[in-house]
Structure 1
């Protein structure tokens, strides 16, 4: 390689390091994917963009579609 001699041991270490980095990135990607999937499982209906829970009477509560739109508008200007 460009006139430089690379020892077999050094080459093995580089390959091992590269594989380790690849595994770390894959683990991070899977973790992020799982977090996004968990977020996508949030319930919603025609009144609420995100249903956080239910009252003892069974009525949902959470963030309405209007509140979510307002937050989106506020975030655009930040």
Structure 2
């Protein structure tokens, strides 16, 4: 998979996430913010933030895998 294709798949998958999952994923994985700051910014518990992050990562990973299999994502 070419780098540009991967970026497009990732962007589409991230855009398709529910808002709360997208926010946690973006703040943690793209902006590198510590979990405590994310919790304060989004007014969620640490447990909830970890669950949201885990679910977001699973959805993004599934989208990449589907693309690699040739599924219509």
TM band (smaller chain) = 0.3 to 0.5
Length-normalised TM-score, structure 2? 0.36
Q: Which has the higher strand share?
A: 1
Q: Answer 1 or 2: which has greater helix percent.
A: 2
Instruction: State TM-score, norm by structure 1.
Output: 0.34
